[in-house]
Amino acid sequence: MTRSKLVAPIPVLVGLLLLYAGFTKAHDASGLSTALAFDDLPPSWISSLALLIVQAEIILGLALAMGVNRELTIWAAVALFGLYSAQLAYFLTVHRPPACGCLGALEHFKSARTAAGFGLGRNLLILAALLAYRRISAPRDRQPGESRNRGQNADGARPCPT
């Protein structure tokens, strides 16, 4: 199996994970709201920001799963998981971190610190997978309009001699 075939399902799998997380938070955003409140955000911002996060996860999940503008959505997912990882790393540094409720019912940990550690490890693996996908599937040394098959245009046709 080639490396490109090995990494091909990564965006779809990450998209499905984001869809699950987004719909789980849409059903019960209490963990997310608690995590946002822990960051000393103004109380009036919390529900709006929680809604924005839920919508972003669902939209990005759909875009990744459907293959919409793959390069942009990969980088958006890298940024999102980078932010989530930074938040979880911060939670690991405080005495009593809140439970973030990242994946809802899938997370059954005895402590919020354990959940944050698991979430950070999971997010770092997802980041590595997304970056591996980007690196392996990215076109190399091609000019605009040139296909992967040398001597053909992007639409697969051989150029007409002029």
With b for 16 or more beta-carbon neighbours within 10 A and e for fewer, the 98-110 pattern comes to bbbbbbbeebeee
Q: The tokens 């669902």 sit on which residue?
A: 58
pLDDT in tens, the chain (162 residues): 677 788 889 999 999 999 999 999 898 888 888 888 888 889 999 999 999 999 999 999 999 999 999 999 999 999 999 999 999 999 999 888 887 777 765 667 778 888 888 889 999 999 999 999 998 887 665 555 555 555 555 555 656 665
pLDDT of residue 153: 58
What pTM did the predictor assign?
0.78
pLDDT of residue 148: 53
pLDDT of residue 156: 58
C-alpha to C-alpha distances, 130 to 46, 108, 118, 138, nearest whole angstrom: 29, 26, 18, 12
pLDDT of residue 152: 55
C-alpha 119/C-alpha 89 separation (Å) is: 9
pLDDT of residue 3: 76
Partners of residue 146 on adjacent β-strands: 153
Residues 62/44, Cβ–Cβ less than 8 Å: no
pLDDT of residue 100: 75
C-alpha 160/C-alpha 153 separation (Å) is: 10
